[in-house]
Structure formats: structure tokens, C-alpha cells
Chain A
Amino acid sequence: MSSTVDVPEAEQQGGGKRTETVETVVVRFCGDSGDGMQLVGTQMTNVSAIYGNDVSTLPDFPAEIRAPAGTLAGVSGYQLCFSNHDIFTPGDAVDTLVSMNPAALKTNIADLKRGGTLIVNEDAFDKSNVAKATYESNPLDDEDLLQPYRVHKVPMTRLTRDAVDGLGLTVREADRCKNFFALGLIYWLYERDATPTEEWIKAKFAKLPHIQEANLRALRAGYNFGFSTESFTVHYHVEPAKLPPGKYRKLTGNEATALGLITAAKLAGRGLFYAGYPITPASDILHELSAHKNFGVKTFQAEDEIAAMSAAVGASYAGQLAVTASSGPGICLKGEAMGLGMIAELPMIIVNVQRGGPSTGLPTKTEQSDLLLSMFGRNGESPLPIVAAQSPGDCFHAVQEAMEIAVNFMVPVVFLTDGYIANGAEPWRIPTTDELKPIKVEHQTEPNSEHGYLPYKRDEKLARPWAVPGTPGLEHRVGGIEKADITGHVSYDPDNHEFMVRLRARKVASIEDFIPEQEVDGPESGDVLLISWGGTYGAVRTAVRQLQTEGKAVAHAHLRFLNPFPKNLGDIISRYKKVLVPELNMGQLRMLLRDKYLVDAIGLNKIKGKPFLVSEVAAAIDELL
């Protein structure tokens, strides 16, 4: 503003360097798990979303909080894709890779596009770190390795120390600011407005003024490095995306699940009770809900997974909208109490944020391998409805639909997400209040027969009434022993048992009349139908659209309701020559589809703890054409 020289605005911003306009960019930050990569990735996501790009993210971090510094096991990465149009995945290949140390370079360089930009902190490439990354010699001297890329060796550690000089920071404190240096450089490279990040730093370190100033300086130093040094000759512009009009915010899947639950309870005018035990990657749901007690949310951090499930069953009996969340190992422990909720016919939500299994498996990596656990993971005939969300923002809506099924049919509902959509973020169009659909919850307050209250007398949906302790005259007992039809008394009668087993199964099956029919993206009939579910939505949708634009007769049905299936699914399947089922497991949905529809469905299965690449799905479809 104070400049008297008339410089074009673009040049002011870019240091007089050439600007290229591009449509979609994939950036990945990677470094040691202590390097703050998740933090800068999140900041970059925020500024890109606020700017108006569509954004999709893939945080990828190790299970160890701090694996030994500099080792391959300790590498943490955050990938984000931002675009001028709507996107469904965080991108297959990386355009710009920021690597903070040799280990990060080693584990990530294979994903960088040929011709892509590689920015490394050359100060971190000392003998010790090079050895820890199992390189025989410094990879920055390896011309064959670096030849395919545009390489920028930046002495980030030294430049950050220089930037914060005079603030009285220890070397360790100074070095912790270098992630903001890297972020500042990327902000310059992609013309990002740093203001939201500056505001965040100011708020975050309000009580530590010298740290606040240091991070602000590091951010600016990084930006200015791109602006003024000759190392960078070009920077990039990505226009805002043309998303549906409305007000937006960034949301992760776990946040969306929590907000969806609060919304469901608030609109239903009931209390929300959440019981959980800390587990990766589900704990953020507990954290988010705990922060909103003023919505009448009661959170209970239980002594174990079994207690969390049991407390949810108790709270449901006591009339609250009860929820528990966990991941695979925890869900295994909950199985018995889920069965209790099932036979007691009480509504509740069991959230499973799926991760790599079996056993402890890959706690921080994504997988879809708990579908069959959700279907069959309890003793006896114990069918439960299953609803799966398809993207981070979708968790908000899908969990409300799950709750609606639960209270309408008096049944526990399994709500499936996965590590990928739970931790991933995307711009989310905030629904206006009148777009939200209240769930109707009714408690029985009067006896429902001349003989008093009959807890297992059913309505036309086969749901039993929900009478809550404290209601005079409706005192009754529930429990895990087989119930006599209508009265709910303990019954060992063989005919009653078969009747009740079939009745409970029929009740769950009849939900197909309650849920919407399955929609298909693409031609009504054709060569290949893809059937997917959960977090693979983005990759499958993008791959199918690609092939559709090439004129191929390929269609896509993405399932939200996995038990029961939408009632038109069999008809849809019969209209295509081949059915391809991409899943991040050994073929669990495929097994269910083959069983129910006797269709020779073909599987595309990946079990690497990573989401599908669009190219992997596209190639599999191509093979079938």
C-alpha cells in the first residue's frame, strides 16, 4: 500500500515471477512424527478451503507417538488435494512433495509425479539421518534418483534459526518452527493467503508471545524465501471451485459424526449419551462430544470397551439417544453387549471407525475389513442394521439416518466409517436449520393394553414400545434371556424362541421399506456395474466418471445401507454384464452380494492400509471391458 512504484498486483504477490494457472494440485508434507506435519497439513487445508477450493485430505501417521527420530518408522505425512472443481479423493500422485528429512524422502518419493516438485530440508540430510533412513549415501547427491524431479534443496533449519534469532529461543524451540517455514514456502508456491494461519498462530500461542512471534516469523521467512530467491521461478494459481452455493466449513469425518449425533439429539429433543473408551482412530468423536455438554450431551469415558457398550445399553433403557464408538478391537469386545441391546430391542448407535486388522493390526491406517464383523460378530441369530458413510462430511448425515433407523425400529444400528474418512477433511456445505430433518422419538407413557404395559407388543413396523424408568405404571423387566412374545417374560418355549428369532430378523429385514431405493450413477444397463461402500466412494466415483467420459458403459452404485440392502439392488445388478466390487478387504461385500443375489461378482481388493488410487480402480474396470 505504501509503495509508490506501480507494480502489477500479481507481481507484488509473487515477487515478479511467472504464475501458472492449474486446475488441481496434490501436495504432501512429510517428515518425522515430531516435525508437525499434521499441523501444517491441516493449516494448508484450512486456507485452501477458506479460499474456495474443493479439498480432500489424507493424513497418514505412524501408530507410535514418537518412533525414534529420523527413522523410517517415524515418518508422518499429510497429503491434500485442492482444486478448482469438485474432487472426491486426495489424489493419486503427488505434484509437490515437501520432505523434512531423509527417511521421509525414502518412504514418499515413489509417490511424486515425474516432473513434480521436490522440496527438501537439506540441513536434515546429515550422515546420521541418512544412515537412519537406510540410504547408503546422501540421496541429495544421487543424480539418478533426483533427475526426474524439480528439486529445491532448502536449508530450512538454518533459515528458520536465522528468522527467529533474537527472540531468546533455545535451538530446540527454534528448530520446532521449521514446519511453518515449509508451510510459508508452499503458501507462496500456491498463492495461498496466510492470514487464517497467522490468526491461528496468534490464538494458539497467545500465552507464549516469543513462540508466537517465532512461528509467525518462520512462516513469513518461508514465504519470502519463495518470493525472493531465484530457486523458484514459477508459482501456481488454482481458482476457487464451483461448488454448490452455500456457506461452507472444513470438517473431518469424526467431527461430522459428532455434530450429526448432537444434531439428531437436539432436533429429537432428547439427551445424547455417549460412552467410549479411547481408541485410534475413534477417540476424536469422544473429544468433540465432550466439548459440547451445553447441548445436554453426557459423555462417559468408561473403564473398557465392554463397559462403554454396556453403559450405552443402560442409557438407552433409560430413554436417552445412546451411542458408543470404537474401532475393530473394541467392537470385538462390545459384541456381547451389542447382542444384549439387540434382544432387549433398545435403540442405539455403535460407531466403528474401521482400521487395519486383525488384532491390533494397523491402528492408524484405513481398511474396510469389519463389514462381516458388523453383520455376524455376535452369538446367536443377531442381525443388526448397518449404515456406512461415504466421505468426511457425509458422516454428519449418515449418522442421523442411522439414528432414525434405531429409534424407529428399536434396534442397535452399526454405523461404519473408516480411518480414511474419519481423519480426512473436506469442505462441507453447512445445512441451514430448515434443511435438517428432526427424528421423532416417542416414549410410552400409558399402558398399551387392558393388562397393563406389554413391553414386547409391537407396532406396524414390528418395533416395540420404549417405556422409560420413572414412568408410573409401566414398570417392566428386560434382559438377555429369550423373551416371550408380547409380554417380554422369560420364555424357554421352543416355538416362542423360533418365532422371536424370526421376528427380530424380519424386523431388521423390513427396514428395506424404510430406506430409499438405491441410486445408480451412469447408464441404466451396460457392461460393468461397480458396487462400493464406505470410504472408497471418492476413488470409485472418480474412476467411473473418467471411463464414462470415454464413452464406456460403466455405472456405479455406492451403498449406504449394507443391512438390509436397498430393495431394488437385485434388479440393478441384473442389468449389467459384469459386477465389480472394489473393497479395502478380501471381499466382504462381495461375499454378501454373492450370497444374496447369486451374482458372480468380481472383487478388486486392496489391503495395504491405504485408500484406493483412482488409477487402480480405473485399470480394474478397463480389464473387464
Chain B
Amino acid sequence: MSTDLPVLSPKDFASDQEIRWCPRCGDYSILAQMKKVLPTLGIPKEKFVFVSGIGCSSRFPYYMDTYGFHSIHGRAPAIATGIKLAQPGQQVWVITGDGDALSIGGNHLMHAIRRNVDLKIILFNNQIYGLTKGQYSPTSPTGKRTKSTPMGSVDHPLNPLSVALGSEATFVARSVDVDIRHLTATLERAAHHKGTAFVEVYQDCNVFNGGAFKFATDKKVKQDNIVYLEHGKPLIFANGKKGIRVNEGSRPEIVDLDGSVPEDDLLFHDEKVTEPSLAFMLARMRYPEFPEPMGVLRAVEKPTYDEQVNQQVEDAIAEKGEGDLDKLLNRGDTWEVK
């Protein structure tokens, strides 16, 4: 090896803390995939920071032997922004949940994304408040019966991907906790993206909302209910039997691939298109009407916030010279008293 990259393994990223998620929680899988991805990045361990808010998912930093900050409810993107601005050399991950990111912390999420701070935001979406034992969340479907909605929720849920796209996200992806290879690949893509990488992970809360994503995880049905996105490839699912085409009303429609529709008529995924309409359309394909897209919806490049904030400091130094206290204090009109 000519380079001096650290050789690390998943074990090196495990902290000595006992993991306290419920047995069979989807969080275990996400933690395991994260520990697999980090050693592949060629980044020394001390260069990672994991920041979280409050909620089950937010325990995540304690289980990683990296720098970490388990903060307060909803504020992780803001705290992470402070860290990234202060230490642009760190790779900063934000671990959050549907309540943390979209309810109490909605404002910070939106602004971190629109600024394009170089953060990797992983939203564990289980459509429920788990830590507080089972209230409906901003992603719970309308009609959801929970402890706080005994007659069914009358809220309309947020679509996390739409929120990210509406906030002008440069990287938007979705994966599922138990889809190990896909999740690993998606986290890896997020890690390599320069700018805010927003990843929604369908995560099963088997205690308070078990099976919420069965449509996307059950091997018997999932091929009909999800469609894997690949850049430059047509949208095909159901073991190659069905595809997605854009109809004359510019709406997606499902077509049978029985020979009557040529493959060229299908929707070809383009994650790099600057204009976000395609990504929006994909984000709004929801089960059961459509198969839900999995993978990278959007990956475009824009200057990052942290880079530009630090560049302005460099520019100011280049223009005015390194700050001179004596000059600063003596600026403007001065006079002598003898």
C-alpha cells in the first residue's frame, strides 16, 4: 500500500456500551450496516462524528466508537451544522427518526438541507413514537389508531422524501432496514455524496408498529410493491413483469411488460437531472397505488454550505490579511488624550 489509509473493521466502530433497543428492532440492522460501511471509506475513525436528537434511533451514537453527540429533541441538524462549520474535516452523520426530524425538528431539517451542509442525515422512519411508547407520528397514515388517537388519527402524513426534495436536497434516497445489501449500498452512496445526503430508511418498530413496512420487506410480496432505482435504467419491477411509464398526462402509470410496451417507452431513471420534477414524481409513488421506489432518487452537485462559509474566511484573509488586533481596535476616528 502506497497510501497510509487506516485498515479498520466493523468491530473497530463498536463501542463498549450495551445496546438497549428492543429485541428484533430494525435499528440493529441499520447499526450493523453502518459499521460495515464506515471501514470501507478510508477515513480514520477520529474523523467521524455521529449526532442525534431524541428517540429510539437517537441512541445510535452511543453504540459507535466514534465522536458522538446525543443531543436534544429535533436539534441534531443544527448541532451537526455547528460541528461541521467548526471542523469541516470531519464526516458528520445525523441519526434521526420521523418524530425527531419531521415534527419537533422539522425546521432544522429543512434548513440544513436547503443550505446543503455536508451532513449525512439518516432518518429512521417507523411511523410511530417508540420511545414514548406508541403515539402516532408525522408519518403515520391517516386513521392510525394509537394511544393518542384511539379513534384514529385525522392528521395527513408527511412524505419525508418530498420534504427533502422541497427543501432542495442534493441527495435523496430510500432504503429498508432488513434489505441489507441495498441499505449498505445506499449508506455508502450517502457517505460519498458531497453536501446534505438525506436517506429515509423504513425501519420496523416491532413493538409499537410492527409490520408497517411489510409490503416492502415480505419476500412474498415485496417484488410487486417496490421498484429499485438505478441511474440510466428503466423502472422495472415484479420480477421483470411490470414497468413504470409516464403517460400523456405526465403521470406515472404501471404497464405490463408482456411485449406490448417496448422498453424504450418506460421511465428511465436519471438521478443527476438538476430539475427535481422526476424525483418528486418518484417520491410520490406510494404503496398500494404504485410500487415504492428504493435507492437514490436524486444526486446532484452544489457547493456546500460549510465549504463556502470557510471559503469566505479564507477570502477575507486573502483580501484584508490575517486579522490584526491592533488595527481592529484602532479602527475609525481616534483621538489622543494626553
Contact = CB atoms under 8 A, between A and B. Distances in A.
Chain A bound to chain B: yes
Interface in A469-513: 469-481, 489-490
B335 A298 contact: no
A300 B82 contact: yes
A151 B330 CA distance: 41
B85 A294 contact: no
B151 interface: no
A73 B322 CA distance: 46
A310 B75 contact: yes
A314 B325 contact: no
Contacts of B336: 245-248
Given A266-B323, A294-B317, A300-B81, A307 B107 contact: yes
B149 interface: no
Interface string A181-223: 0000000000000001000000000000000000000000000
Contacts of A313: 71, 79, 82
B220 interface: no
Contacts of B331: 249
A475 B320 CA distance: 37
A273 B45 contact: no
Contact of A52 (B72, B319, B320, B337): B337
B28 interface: no
A52 B333 CA distance: 12
A315 B313 CA distance: 16
Interface stretch (A127-135, A429-437, A617-625): A429-437
Given A300-B81, A489-B17, A470 B108 contact: no
Given A311-B81, A470-B89, A244 B62 contact: no
B69 A317 contact: yes
Given A250-B333, A469-B49, A477 B79 contact: no
Contacts of A263: 325, 328-329
A243 interface: yes
A468 B87 CA distance: 9
A362 B72 CA distance: 31
B47 interface: yes
A298 B325 CA distance: 17
A301 to B, nearest CB: 10
Given A266-B325, A310-B71, A319 B330 contact: no
A307 B320 contact: no
Contacts of B325: 262-263, 266-267, 433, 436
Interface string B15-28: 10100000000000
B334 interface: yes
Contact of A310 (B67, B79, B309): B79
A436 B329 CA distance: 11
Contacts of A478: 68-70
Nearest to B114: A303
Contact of B69 (A51, A240, A302, A477): A477
A312 B85 CA distance: 10
Contacts of B83: 314-315, 317-318, 469
Nearest to A267: B325
B85 A315 contact: yes
A470 B108 CA distance: 25
Interface in B45-89: 45-47, 49, 51, 54, 61-62, 65-72, 75, 78-87, 89
B312 interface: yes
A430 B329 contact: yes
B328 to A, nearest CB: 7
Contact of B82 (A249, A312, A336): A312
Interface in A513-541: none
B288 interface: no
A271 B337 contact: no
Contact of B78 (A248, A273, A311, A481): A311
A294 B75 contact: no
A259 B332 contact: no
A410 interface: no
B79 A303 contact: no
B111 interface: yes
Contacts of B90: 318, 469-470
Contacts of A607: none
B316 interface: yes
Contacts of B148: none
Nearest to A322: B82
A338 to B, nearest CB: 10
B329 A431 contact: yes
Contact of B46 (A267, A474, A490): A474
A413 to B, nearest CB: 17
Contact of A311 (B69, B82, B334): B82
Nearest to A54: B337
A196 to B, nearest CB: 6
Nearest to A471: B46
Contacts of B110: 303
B338 interface: yes
A293 to B, nearest CB: 4
Given A298-B313, A469-B49, A475-B46, A273 B86 contact: yes
A297 B325 CA distance: 13
Contacts of A248: 334-337
B157 interface: no
B150 interface: no
| From B61, B79, B322, B328, residue with most partner A Cβ within 10 Å | B79
Contact of A298 (B51, B75, B85, B319): B85
Nearest to B318: A294
Contacts of A337: 72, 75
B323 A294 contact: yes
A46 interface: yes
B321 interface: yes
B316 A300 contact: no
Contacts of B69: 314, 317, 344, 477-479
B303 interface: no
A49 interface: yes
A118 interface: no
B62 A249 contact: no
A300 B309 CA distance: 8
A172 B85 CA distance: 46
B44 interface: yes
A246 B337 contact: yes
B66 to A, nearest CB: 5
A306 B78 contact: yes
A294 B337 contact: no
Nearest to B50: A477
Interface string A273-301: 10100000000000000001111111010
A304 interface: yes
A320 interface: yes
Interface of B: 15, 17, 44-47, 49, 51, 54, 61-62, 65-72, 75, 78-87, 89-90, 107-108, 110-111, 309-310, 312-313, 315-317, 319-323, 325-326, 328-338
21 contacts: A46-B333, A49-B335, A240-B337, A245-B336, A249-B332, A293-B315, A294-B320, A300-B81, A300-B82, A302-B78, A303-B108, A303-B110, A303-B111, A307-B107, A314-B78, A314-B84, A315-B83, A469-B49, A472-B44, A472-B45, A474-B46
Given A46-B333, A51-B335, A475-B66, 15 more contacts: A49-B333, A292-B316, A298-B310, A300-B81, A300-B85, A303-B110, A306-B78, A314-B69, A317-B79, A336-B72, A429-B337, A431-B329, A436-B325, A469-B67, A474-B46
Q: Which 6 pairs of residues, A with B, have the shortest CB-CB distance? A: A314-B82, A479-B70, A295-B323, A311-B82, A318-B86, A310-B78
